[in-house]
Structure 1
Amino acid sequence: MDSSSLRERQKERRRARIYGVAIELFKQGGFQTTTATDIARASNVSRGTFFNYYPYKEAVLLDYGSEVMERLRDHAELRLAQGAPPLGVLYEIWDRLAEENARERDLFPPLAYEVMNPNPERARTAYQALPLSRVIELILRPLHQSGQMRTDLSLQRISNLIADTYLMVALRWSAYGTERPLQEEMRLALNLLLEGAVRREPARP
């Protein structure tokens, strides 16, 4: 192994260690109260080294969000390949995401806020790291191609609207709570959205 490859592997291991330590600290002490200095100290690196890997604390959460999205995409691809109906797969993904958000309730608000960050570069980075709309688009594409979805809106726009709705409903639930579990709130929102997106057979007289 040459020296450049060795350095890259060392960097990857260091980043993985910082990430793992940071997520654990966020879960134990809360995202807001955990500082970059806390993470660096617990990871046995300098504060400057932390910022070499993560330019701001929220960037750690983007790695977490990316992992979640990757798992959802893998599940969707597998289920579609098995012949599962697209809408069934969408509800499976919806439920899995709601379960993850409910379990890590303190991590979701700062992660969601990054997508709406007033700094356009940070907002763009967050959007790219959390491609929920692309996972939804993957799932709904067979319905769109077969003419089972409305055609006056593009598949991309429908998928973006569904993803944006998830973001806002889950953010409100995480920050303020409701009487319903998040999974119920999300299914209610998805039902309403699909009523307007999927063509229904006319009722028989």
Structure 2
Amino acid sequence: MDNSSLRERQKERRRARIYSVAIDLFKHGGFQATTATDIAKASNVSRGTFFNYYPYKEAVLLDYGSEVMDRLRDQAETRLAQGIAPLAVLYEVWDALAEENARERDLFPPLAYEVMNPNPERARTAYQALPLSKVIELILRPMHQSGQMRTDLSLQRISNLIADTYLMVALRWSAYGTERPLQEEMRLALSLLLEGAVRRDLVRQ
């Protein structure tokens, strides 16, 4: 193994250690209370080294969110390949994401806020790291191709709207809570999106 390959592997291991330590600190001490200095100290690296790997604290959460999205995509692809109906797969993935969010309730708000960061570069980075709309698009594509979905909106736009709804409902639940568990709240929101809120004969065309 040449020196450059060795250095890359060392960097990967260091990043993995920083990530693991940071997530553990976030879960046990709270995201807001945990500083970059805390993470660096617990990871046995300098504060400057931490920022070499993660330019801001929230960037650690983007790695976490990206891992979650990868798991959801794998789940969706597997279930579709098994012949499960797309809408059933969508509800399964929706439930899995809600379960993850409910379990890691303190991590979700700062992660979601990154998607809406006023800094456009950070917001773009977060959006790319958390491609929920792409997972939804993957699931619904068979229905779109078979003509089972409305044609006045693109599949991409429909998927974006569903993903945005998840983000806002889950954020509100994380911040304020409701009488319902998050999974029930999210299923209600998804059903509303898929079925519509008003009787079709009353909707103006």
**What is the TM-score of this pair, normalised by structure 1?**
0.95
Q: Match for residue 164 of structure 1? A: 164
**What is the TM-score with the length of structure 2 in the denominator?**
0.95
- Displacement of 1:195 after TM fit? 1.1
Q: Which amino acid aligns with 1:114?
A: E
- Tell me which residue corresponds to 1:135: 135
Whichever residue aligns with residue 110 of structure 1, its letter is: P
Corresponding position: 1:40 with 2:40 = yes
Structure 2: unaligned runs, 5 residues or longer: 201-205
Deviation at 1:51, TM superposition (A): 0.1
Deviation at 1:36, TM superposition (A): 0.1
SS of the residue 2:183 aligns to: helix
- Show the counterpart of 1:88: 88
1:94-173 correspondence to structure 2 within 5 Å: 94-173=94-173
Equivalent residue number for residue 179 of structure 1: 179
The number of aligned residues is 197
Amino acid at match of 2:108: F
Partner-residue secondary structure (3-state), 1:152: coil
2:183 paired with 1:189: no
Q: Structure 1: how far apart are the matches of 2:181 and 2:22?
A: 28
Which amino acid in structure 1 is aligned with residue 13 of structure 2? R
- 1:203 counterpart residue number: none
Structure 1: distance between partners of 2:115 and 2:130: 8
Q: Structure 1, residues 146-184: CA drift from partner, whole Å, max 9, x if none? A: 000000000000000000000000000001101100000
CA RMSD of aligned residues (A): 0.8
Q: Are 1:3 and 2:17 counterparts?
A: no
Q: Post-superposition shift, 1:131?
A: 0.1
Shift of 1:3: 0.2
Gaps of 5+ in 1: 201-205
CA–CA distance in structure 2, aligned partners of residues 33 and 176 of structure 1? 20
Q: For residues 5 and 84 of structure 2, what CA distance do their matches in structure 1 show?
A: 42
Whole-Å separation in 1 of the counterparts to 2:108 and 2:172: 10
After superposition, give the CA deviation of every residue in 1:26-72 in whole Å (9 maximum; x if it has no partner): 00000000000000000000000000000000000000000000000
3-state SS of 2:105 partner: coil
CA distance in 1, matches of 2:3, 2:126: 33
Q: Partners in 2 of 1:145 and 1:153 — Cα distance?
A: 13
**Offset of 1:107 from its aligned partner?**
0.1
- Tell me, in whole angstroms, the C-alpha distance in 2 between the residues paired with 1:124 and 1:44: 31
What are the superposed Cα offsets for residues 119-166 of structure 1, whole Å, 9 maximum, x if unpaired? 000000000000000000000000000000000000000000000000
Describe how 1:30-69 pairs up with structure 2 within 5 A. Answer: 30-69=30-69
Identity %: 91
